[in-house]
Structure 1
Amino acid sequence: MDEIEIASHHSQSWAGGAAPLQNSSPLYQFDGQVRLRHLYTANAHTQLYLEITPKGEVRGAPDQTPYSLMEIKAVKPGVIRMQAMKTLLFLCMDPSGHLHGSSYSEEACNFHEKVQRDGYNLYFSESHKVPVSLRPAEGPTGRGRPAPRLFHFLPMVSRVPVEPVLLEYDFYSDPPLDVESSDPLSMMGRLTRVLSPSYIF
């Protein structure tokens, strides 16, 4: 049984489970809706969060990191694109099913999102019909085969602290410091340009 058949088998096996989770937003399946989430996946031995490194490598991390925070945006009903907020790279897939981070293209970076009854999601490339998956970094199974890939992802709210935004200030655009002046920092000149409302009346 190949990997795509495994994903399909798991989807069918959950048909008798709990009712689908309802999203509170009526825009859930429509263009323009944006979510910030970490994509969590797990099996009996490991848990991973999908992340995109600055070099464009897609891998699994054991905990939430700044590289695993994704902006998930609907581009049309049932189809989304995912962008890593740290690297600004999009999750993309080539024709062989290999995942990588890159600039956005509709063919490589659009994915069908299928919500399962247990709240987990399946993501399939819109162009290549191959599921998004991660392989655990553990060794081969007891049968000498690599550990099976993980297909089911749970979008989770971020627990990673928001990184501070550094405001750039061009010190070199200011006039040079005049140490012999009565106003060496040119504060009086700035007050003529930026006045408090109390000085207007």
Structure 2
Amino acid sequence: MCRWTVTQGAPVAWFSSFPCRRPPSLFLPLTSLLLLLLLPRATNVSLSSATVVGRHVRSSYKHLQGDVRRRKLFSYQKFFLRIGKDGNVNGTKREDDPYSILEIKSVDVGVVAIRGLSSNHYLAIKESGDLYGAREFGPDCRLIERIEENRYNTYASAEWRTKKNKCMFVGLNPRGKPLKGKKTRRKNTATHFLPMVVQPR
């Protein structure tokens, strides 16, 4: 017959035995209990390390914070987005329009600010959904940049949503006029823009 001795003060029971080959059946339940206690901690760490946004993981964008790009935004409607010196936002067919040269800067994970290089106005969306150029950077100027399935980008207000909690996007109609944000949708190609690299002069 085997004699088992429990060592006091140990986190898990330690057993000393003499000629026995197997520990008592009590050892397996204790081991299982310990694993169950540790499992939630490991799960919480893995979930909190990254927040999923759409098809992307937020933590994968950290290297883009502070990144600055000089681009033209060419719409699916075949217009270059421009921010005029008076703050008006519309589209132009002119490839050499200086007001269509934009500076896109990452201000947060997945969030950008778009500034007209010639007008020095920021692309902005009001709470009402109206598109305009702001003299100073503010909440209206924070835009969520997302790459869509067709490789075009969309830009939605990070500050405002519709009453139905829908995103409001930057968009141009077939005549190059700005669309009201409340009438825009992600799947609508009027909100899709292709960033084009501006060659240095």
TM-score normalised by L of structure 1: 0.57
Q: Quick one: percent identity of the two aligned structures?
A: 32
Q: Which residue of 1 aligns with 2:79?
A: 48
Structure 2, gaps ≥5 residues long? 1-54, 161-166, 177-187
SS of corresponding position for 2:168? coil
Which of 91, 94, 99 is the aligned partner of 1:60? 91
Which of 127, 133, 152 is the aligned partner of 2:171? 133
SS of corresponding position for 2:99? helix
CA distance in 2, matches of 1:126, 1:88: 21
Residue 102 of structure 1 deviates from its aligned partner by 1.4
Which of 148, 151, 175 is the aligned partner of 2:191? 151
Q: Contact 1:38–1:70 (CA<8 Å) still a contact in 2?
A: yes
Matched, 1:104 2:136: yes
SS of corresponding position for 1:130? strand
1:42–1:75 distance in 2 versus 1, CA, 3 Å = same
Q: Which has more strand, going by share of residues?
A: 2
Structure 1, gaps ≥5 residues long? 1-14, 21-25, 139-147, 163-201
SS of corresponding position for 1:119? coil
Matched, 1:70 2:102: yes
Q: Contact 2:121–2:134 (CA<8 Å) still a contact in 1?
A: yes
Q: Which structure's CA Rg is the greater one?
A: 2
CA distance in 2, matches of 1:29, 1:96: 33
1:135–1:29 distance in 2 versus 1, CA, 3 Å = farther
1:153–1:68 distance in 2 versus 1, CA, 3 Å = same
How many pairs were matched up? 127
Q: Which amino acid aligns with 1:76?
A: D
Q: Contact 2:61–2:110 (CA<8 Å) still a contact in 1?
A: no
CA distance in 1, matches of 2:72, 2:115: 11
CA distance in 1, matches of 2:124, 2:136: 8
Residue 107 of structure 1 deviates from its aligned partner by 1.2
Residue 68 of structure 1 deviates from its aligned partner by 0.5
SS of corresponding position for 1:108? helix
Q: Which has more helix, going by share of residues?
A: 2
1:55–1:98 distance in 2 versus 1, CA, 3 Å = same
Segments of 4+ moved more than 3 angstroms: 26-29
Q: Which amino acid aligns with 2:168?
A: V
Q: Which amino acid aligns with 1:109?
A: C
